[in-house]
Amino acid sequence: MLAVASVFFPALCGGVTLDVLSGEIACGELVGRTEASLTLRGSANAADLAWIADNCRELRILDLSGLTIEPCSLEKGLANGLREFPGGVLPAYSLSGLTAQTLVLPEGISEICDGALLGSAVTGLTLPASVRLIGQGAFAACEALRHVSLGASVEIIGPCAFRGCVSLASVEADGSRLVEIGEKAFSGCRKLSALTFTSPDPALTAIGDEAFGATDLQTLDLSACTALRSIGRRAFAACASLEELVLPSGVVSIGDGVLFGCQSLRTFALPEALNDLPAMALAGASALEDISLHDGVRSLGEYSLTGIDGITGLSLPSSLREIGTGVFEGWSSLQTLMVDKHSEVPILGADVWAGVNQSEAILTVAPGLEAEFAAAPQWKEFMIRTPDESTLDRVPAIDDQAAAVIDAKLENSVLTVKSSEKISAVTVYDTDGRAVFGIGANGSTALETATGLPVGRIYIVALRLHSGVETGIKLVNIKL
């Protein structure tokens, strides 16, 4: 079974078909240098393939499907200096610079070795189902390559495998055995807008440094990749069109600057297994409307959230102990900050709140800690309140029209909300205007959560929608 890229392969009629033995082509007399279409059957080695790539500069179609790749040992290395080449693989750098736009690879090969098609003109590929490994730079700088389809046997995409494939628009992978996407594998693929796994249970465990840096990805849902544990430094940095990235809960490590400069990102939830947000992680994600920090997050690294100017309210988890230098720099829209579950004042780096209008922002702290926060450098500049103090003027007005299009109920202290528009956050107020419950909705259109609120009382449920609209609905906590 073959995994075929989504391209049209022209018929190989009118070309030359040759039966060859390993080593014959490299002698330079068997294959014409002006052939446009060439089909090879029999056996060949790395030197034979390199001769074709170097000398057949008018070649447009190359069919190697009937070819067996034999090992060879060369007295004089190829252009890359290599002298030993194994069989059963597409040899390293053997077809680099190939002018053929259509290529059919030998059946049965297990690996496309390092640089095998580096800088080639290929636009269409037939990947044999036997291929398990795509080596370092195997397709790097293939500037005409538009689509890639990877079969079920592929286990590793090596470093820089498709780096600089500037026309590559989509990648489809079965993913059932794919465990690793290497460093810079798709870096600089500036038209890459879609990555799709067809398997319901992808095996992916690691994404390397800068793997998708500066691509055109728009949404990426990796929630089905339940084995994913590690995402490298700047893995999605400078993806200017990326609006949403969903990670599975089991991710335990993400690198510095993983989403640096993702200026279109609207929502992000930290995986539950991740306890520390690294430096520069979401720096420059200026369109972010909601970020969910679960209870368990211990630290926010230096400048990890700097430059986010659209979030008006944030609740910090009680587990948070350390906030690094410049983390909330540039949060010019911040109006409310909740630390009311903390039993002690978190440690701050330098200039944490630079650019925040602290004198007009409310900091809600646990009763009894007012004095400690009021004495703490950087914290003391806020308007410090406790949950018992009224914030009625900040409760959105009740909107009867919104109630007609938003389905919300509060039964047995369980809040259920459904909306035709994505929800960024939900806050529940009592009739005195006190915020008694809040949760980020991470851009979902449906939410169900236990609130722990007393039954039989009236509450105002305030919704902040993805569009930026804020509205309130009056509900009674019914006991069923």
Closest to 421 measured CA to CA, from 447, 400, 396, 399: 447
Q: What is the pLDDT of residue 412?
A: 86
In a domain, 177, yes or no: no
Residue found under tokens 């910090």: 316
In a domain, 377, yes or no: no
Residue 400 confidence class, pLDDT cut points 50, 70, 90: low
Residue 392 has pLDDT above 50, yes or no: no
- Are 402 and 435 in contact by the 8 Å Cβ rule? The answer is no
Range name among 322-331, 376-385, 424-433, 447-456 with the lowest pLDDT average: 424-433
Residue 368 confidence class, pLDDT cut points 50, 70, 90: confident
The pLDDT tens digits of the residues spanning 341-351 come to 999 999 999 99
Q: What is the pLDDT of residue 40?
A: 96
Residue ending a domain, among 131, 157, 192, is 131
What DSSP letter does each residue of 340-396 carry, written as one string? Answer: TT-SSPPEE-TTTTTT--GGGSEEEE-TT-HHHHHHSTTTTTSEEE-TTS--GGGSP
> First vs last Cα of the chain: how many Å apart?
57
Q: Which helix (H) or strand (E) holds 187?
A: none
CA distance 465 to 445: 9
Residue 267 confidence class, pLDDT cut points 50, 70, 90: confident
- Are 453 and 477 in contact by the 8 Å Cβ rule? The answer is yes
The pLDDT tens digits of the residues spanning 411-437 come to 888 889 888 888 877 888 777 666 777
- Are 144 and 166 in contact by the 8 Å Cβ rule? The answer is no
The domain total for the chain is: 2
Q: What is the pLDDT of residue 402?
A: 54
Range name among 77-86, 91-100, 341-350 with the lowest pLDDT average: 77-86
Query: Could you give the count of Cα atoms lying within 13 Å of 459 in the half-sphere of its Cβ?
Result: 29
Closest to 395 measured CA to CA, from 359, 431, 423, 364: 431
CA distance 415 to 410: 5
In a domain, 139, yes or no: no
Residue ending a domain, among 131, 166, 190, is 131
The pLDDT tens digits of the residues spanning 136-161 come to 999 999 999 999 989 899 999 999 99
CA distance 436 to 426: 11
Residue ending a domain, among 99, 131, 163, is 131
Q: What is the pLDDT of residue 304?
A: 98
Q: Which has more pLDDT, 45 or 439?
A: 45
- Note the pTM of the prediction, 2 decimals: 0.79
Residue 126 has pLDDT above 70, yes or no: no
In a domain, 381, yes or no: no
**Average pLDDT of the chain, as a whole number:** 89
In a domain, 83, yes or no: yes
Amino acid at 24: E
Residue 7 has pLDDT above 50, yes or no: no
Note down the domain range covering 100.
Answer: 1-131
Q: What is the pLDDT of residue 12?
A: 39
Residue 396 confidence class, pLDDT cut points 50, 70, 90: low
Residue 395 has pLDDT above 60, yes or no: no
In a domain, 293, yes or no: no
What's 31's domain CATH number?
Answer: 3.80.10.10
- Are 57 and 38 in contact by the 8 Å Cβ rule? The answer is no
Q: Which has more pLDDT, 239 or 466?
A: 239
In a domain, 74, yes or no: yes
In a domain, 304, yes or no: no
Amino acid at 228: L
What's 408's domain CATH number?
Answer: 2.60.40.3080
Q: Which has more pLDDT, 201 or 465?
A: 201
| CA dihedral over 15, 18, 22, 23, signed as positive or negative | negative
Q: What is the pLDDT of residue 401?
A: 55
Q: What is the pLDDT of residue 120?
A: 97
